[in-house]
Structure 1
Amino acid sequence: MFDLITIGRCGVDVYPLQTGVGLAQVETFGKFLGGSPTNVAVAAARHGLRAAVITATGADPFGEYVRQAIRGFGVDDSFVATVDGPATPVTFCEIFPPDHFPLYFYRGEHPPDLRLTPESLDLAAIRDARVFWFTATGLSQEPSRSAHAAALAARTSGWTVFDLDYRPMLWESAEAGRDRVRELLPHANVAVGNLDEVENAVGVRDPEAAAQALLDAGMRVAIVKMGPEGVLARSADERVLAEPVKVEVVNGIGAGDAFGGAVCLGLVRGWSLERTIRFANAAGAFVAARLACADAMPTTDEVQALL
């Protein structure tokens, strides 16, 4: 049995090795494993959880790099498919610390990770996983949308986490993104999102009201990320307001994935909500102080040291 199975995006992150300048002026780049659900699995594996990712790559050298990197980080790649035709996605970013990190997605019209089908899934493994993590992006196209629905239908126990991660450029319209997120929200029992994402999911932006709306929608845990104001988390009997951990930010893009992997650790270990959120906050800060995402994911001891 897996502690965690994630499903969704994978690819190659191509990050500039110069900061504070636009892509037009960058001269050298670094290549890293990318894709938010894949990075969450890596983050969880760094904490000792048995993690796997369900995704797909193209039949190209970048696809082989992705598979090698997934295995190298200790994540099970048994559910990583190879699709003939579309290329493995590549993502560029610009790095303007402390809080401006534009992303440029080169995913084509129908990337491999959105070609997952219900028939390709190991539903028994998904059912038995202690935590199942999915994101809004996986709902943006068929057959991935149907694959997600099948996976969620298989879940009868454990923690099912909906990362409300909403990237408008990856959707046909804002209305479609909103409707599909709201359609599948009742199939989760944990929701994680920033202010824009929770507003998309429940129609309100105020953190307290949004957290309550998520609880009313059936969540056992609602986590609202508020940027420089910290994180608000609510359950039926706990409320946590965690301030950001102070670090010198280098690249904030991977912080949310480190946060997510740490949340999974807290769920698996049965930690209190307060311990989970404060630990996850520190994990996110650890990665924000570094250039890479997957390569920078901390161990449990490294997070404790930062705390």
Structure 2
Amino acid sequence: MKELDVVTFGETMVLLTPELMTPLEYSSRFYKQVGGAESNVAIGLQRLGHSVGWFSKLGNDPFGRYIHKFVRGEGVDTSRCIYTNEAPTGIFFKEKYSSTNIRVYYYRKNSAASLLSPDDLDEDYIACAKFLHITGITPALSLSCRETVFKAIEIAKKHKVKVVFDPNIRLKLWKIEEARSVLLEIAAEADIILPGLDEGELLSGRKTPEEIASFLGKEKLVVIKLGERGSYYQFGNENGYVKGFHVPQVVDPVGAGDGFAAGIISGLLRNEPIPDAVKRGNAVGAIVVGANGDVEGLPSKEELEEFMKGATYHRDVKR
């Protein structure tokens, strides 16, 4: 089986966004995009020159086929995707009042992806990767999804595949008490943890990046996202802050954390020192917020290098 740099899995949905910046109830025309934390990371890594596999359970419907073709069209391996007639593909709507006032409405309950089960995992496929990337969204979708996540982690550890965990807390999907318990159990098994500051506070009850990172474990690489301020990292006795990049105009912040994860993993795959890998994550996140949509702003390897050198970043992204 072909070796992959990263394998990831989870729910990807069709995103419908109004053509105009108006409330949804007054919107009549929408454009169609794709959004999902794990597939965002997969596409981001693929554009940065890495080999990536992503899989999910998709509805055997037009939206499911559209997602499959879109992700595969980005060069991501989708050979382990599964179609089902038992449930539809999830969708969500993005309502933009301004670049800083965005509301997201999900229609994903009992979706096809929520039917993922441990039986859908291919052990050899996970074993062929260097990293397994998972998020805290998947275990919130259903009990079978939760069991699938823990089984995937078990497989990864058995084959010495490093586990990257982005908590990606979605309190619309579950209560904080349940989320904290399950996500801390996943974090205990992960090698790399990528929370936002707010997520770190929810999980640990601590306030500062230093306290949160120490709570999650000094033997792990913990990188805490601090928005425009950059990031804080800790690994053993190595720690520090890495400055963020100036963003002239925030167009759409959704998906920036996934871009950040792709940048971090890319740096680690390139065997960069941790501060350099974190800098790469900061840069991808900064680029992503300058474009509409979850994946439209994800840069190529050449575009990222240009941005990080301080050159003016030009990208023609429609809408």
Same fold (TM over 0.5): yes
The corresponding residue for 1:215 is 217
TM-score (norm 2): 0.90
CA contact (8 A) 2:131 2:161 kept: yes
Tell me what 2:311 maps to.
Answer: none
Map of 1:204 onto structure 2: 206
Partner of 2:75: 74
Alpha-carbon distance in structure 1 between the residues aligned to 2:112 and 2:155: 23
Q: Say yes or no: does 1:284 pair with 2:296.
A: no
- Aligned-pair CA distance for 1:97: 4.0
Residue identity opposite 1:176 in structure 2 = E
Alignment-derived partner of residue 224 in structure 1: 224
SS of residue matched to 1:133:
strand
| Aligned 1:238-253 pairs, distance under 5 A | 238-253=239-254
* Residue type of the alignment partner of 1:166: I
Per-residue deviation, residues 162-204 of structure 1 (Å, max 9, x unmatched)? 1110010111x22111111112211101111112211232222
1:51-200 matches, cutoff 5 A: 51-108=52-109, 110-140=110-140, 141-156=142-157, 157-171=160-174, 173-200=175-202
After superposition, the CA RMSD in angstroms is: 1.6
Q: Distance in 2 between matches of 1:30 and 1:259?
A: 25
Q: Residues 257-296 of structure 1: matches in 2 within 5 Å?
A: 257-296=258-297
1:11-90 aligned within 5 A? 11-19=13-21, 21-90=22-91
The 2-side partners of 1:138 and 1:272 are apart by 30
Across the two proteins, how many residue pairs are aligned to each other?
Answer: 302
Deviates more, 1:32-41 or 1:197-206: 197-206
Provide TM-score, normalisation by structure 1.
Answer: 0.93
Q: Is the 8 A contact 1:86 1:112 kept in 2?
A: yes
Higher relative contact order (CA 8 A, sep 6+): 1
Equivalent position of 2:316 in the other structure: none
Alignment-mate amino acid for residue 138 of structure 1: T
1:105-155 alpha-carbon deviations (Å, 9 max, x no partner): 1102x2222211111111122123111110111112221111111110112
Unaligned ranges ≥5, structure 2: 309-319
Contact 1:115 1:142 in 2 (8 A): no
